[in-house]
Structure 1
Amino acid sequence: MDIREPWSLYATPRNAVRQFLIACHGAGEQTGFSPPFRQRKLPTRGLVYISAGHGTSTSGPGSPAVTVQAPAVIWLFPGVEHGYGPDAAGWSEHWILFAGESFAAFEELGLGNRHQPVLALERVIRDATVLFDDLRTALTTVGARSELAASLATQRILLAIVDAAGSNTGATDLPSFLNVLTQDAPRQMSVAARARRVGMSVGMVSASVKDATGRSLNDFVIEVRIAKAQALLAETQLDIGVIAERVGYGDAAYFSRLFTRRVGVAPTVFRLQQARSIQTELDTL
């Protein structure tokens, strides 16, 4: 196990960085044993790279624990309950908190898939020590240059994850029809049209989605839309109506009612909760 001095640093990137780039809100490393935890929520995205050891991870309320075997990445999603921790032998953990719409480019490469919260890597991340040292250096000072350097360092680590994952990225590991349905979720389409997009009959695609996710096709589409809306609310200042349209709802009032039923609070309240809690949540990482 790679023994490195533990560290953790936090930042509050300016709006321009959050809007146009991937903004790093914090990062750190630690090695050894720390008690596993559950039921934490963060207002940002996050990744936890496990370079050595093994343990467990959970994502979503009431979700079962998933085994994490190094090398692997645990994805954290804004507003989603999660937990993780090593077994008694401990592990080597390297984490980053980040936000920004430009992460969508990495999602197209298979990173950060909500249906694959633990990504097994084919090999350890090449030059991980150098990459995290660069990120640490960027976070030790304050200012626009440091924020840009931290953003670039975060993107370099994300690209390194793509390389280390190889064929294990969500874009290939998940059934291809789920990737297509996820990408198409914000589009206004009939069930028949969605079935044609994946080359299945309506009955077949409905059964396949049920088998793969435990949800009906309609519920799966809604889940993807609401998850995207949560990320946009947490990571941007876009108007609620604009967010509603981006995730597939032309009627902002209907979207707000649906979001409230699914999440438990209105979109405006969800956004306020994330804004108020960001420093508190970061301090508890």
Structure 2
Amino acid sequence: MRYFTPGPVHHRLGLVCLGVGMQHGVLPAVGPRTLDHHVAVVVSAGRGWCRDAEGQRHDVVAPALLWITPGVPHHFGADPAEGWDEAFVDFTGSAVAAYTELGCIEPGRPVVPLTDAGPARDAVARIARAARQGNPLLEIEAAAAVHELLVALRRVRADTTTGGAPVLEALAREAFLPLSVAEHAARHGMTAAELRAAVRRGAGCSPKDYLLGIRLGHAKELLAGTDLPVSAVARRVGYADPAYFSRLFTRRVGVPPVRFRERQGRAVPGGWSDTVPDPDHPPTIVSTTTRT
């Protein structure tokens, strides 16, 4: 276990790591206690128990996550016969509120089942490796890994990988169709309320904001990489009224579409493509000259 004391500048990163630990076996119980910061405890093997703020006991079976939130009493421990493998990270910061709103932190759920503890443990291991003595980038590397940890935990949460992802993937495919939220819901045999709940659970936002993010992202790509008129860009991303699209773009992006193009536009050799290169095999320049 290692504990850190980040300075004021590090706190401006939004998240700071206060401690990290990786341990296993028949460990002593923790608590009852109350902390003033967040802790994510990832249980990757074994089993145990925890008690929530009301004293109710919950079984913990790996892979699972224990959320410890500020000001909330907690009490947990490994099974006295089987034990468990745990990795924990203590953290705090101004970005916690946004991560909570986006569904990455769940104060009301003391135990969260996971589909795979591997990605989260990898993020914790990066913090542990950064904690070597004399590392001048310790706090920066640890803060970056906390962001990564929250994303990893969100991605492997059991209740969203089984139900949320297919809905989000379908909405992404249909994002440029001129459909209302109710019409999107009907296409998937859901009520509008059910769709809103699924998207909120899966993406941490409303269906309207989820679709808008996809539409505006694609509009930016078209503005930056093609010479299509703004009216054509609007139609490509699902808006029949170019004036409405321009107002919406300006309100959300901060500049009108024409101004965005002036800033970001660049000619792309061979034309624009909607195919994203494989990050593991990005396009490269192949030399046609041979040295002798």
TM-score by length of 1: 0.52
Which one of 63, 71, 74 corresponds to residue 63 of structure 2?
71
Match of 2:27 in 1: 34
Corresponding residue of 1:44: 37
In structure 2, how many angstroms separate the alpha carbons of the residues matched to 1:42 and 1:127? 22
Larger RCO (CA under 8 A, 6+ residues apart) = 1
| Superposed CA RMSD | 2.5
More helix by share: 1
User: SS state of the match for residue 116, structure 1?
Assistant: coil
Partner residue of 2:128 out of 122, 127, 136 = 136
- Residues in 2 aligned to 1:111 and 1:103: alpha-carbon distance in whole angstroms: 9
State the identity as a percent: 29
Q: Measure, in 1, the Cα distance between the counterparts of 2:113 and 2:141.
A: 28
Matches of 2:5 and 2:142, distance apart in 1:
11
2:144 corresponds to 1:152: yes
**What pairs with 1:177-192 in structure 2 (closer than 5 Å)?**
none
Q: Could you list the structure 1 runs, at least 4 aligned residues long, displaced by more than 3 angstroms after superposition.
A: 141-144, 166-169
Shift in Å, 1:142:
5.5
Match for 1:107: what amino acid? T
Retained in 2: the 8 A contact 1:125–1:164? Answer: no
**Which residue of structure 1 lines up, in the alignment, with residue 96 of structure 2?**
103
Question: Structure 1: which 5+ runs fail to align?
Answer: 1-7, 173-197, 200-285
What is the CA–CA distance in structure 1 between the aligned matches of 2:70 and 2:13, rounded to whole Å? 18
Q: 2:46 aligns with which of 45, 48, 53?
A: 53
Partner of 1:123: 116
Q: What's the TM-score, normalizing by structure 2?
A: 0.51
| Structure 2 CA distance for partners of 1:142 and 1:118, relative to 1, 3 Å | farther
Aligned length: 164
1:192-225 alpha-carbon deviations (Å, 9 max, x no partner): xxxxxx98xxxxxxxxxxxxxxxxxxxxxxxxxx
Q: Which has the larger radius of gyration?
A: 2
1:167 maps to which residue? 159
Q: Which amino acid aligns with 1:135?
A: I
Distance 1:15 1:142 in 2: 19
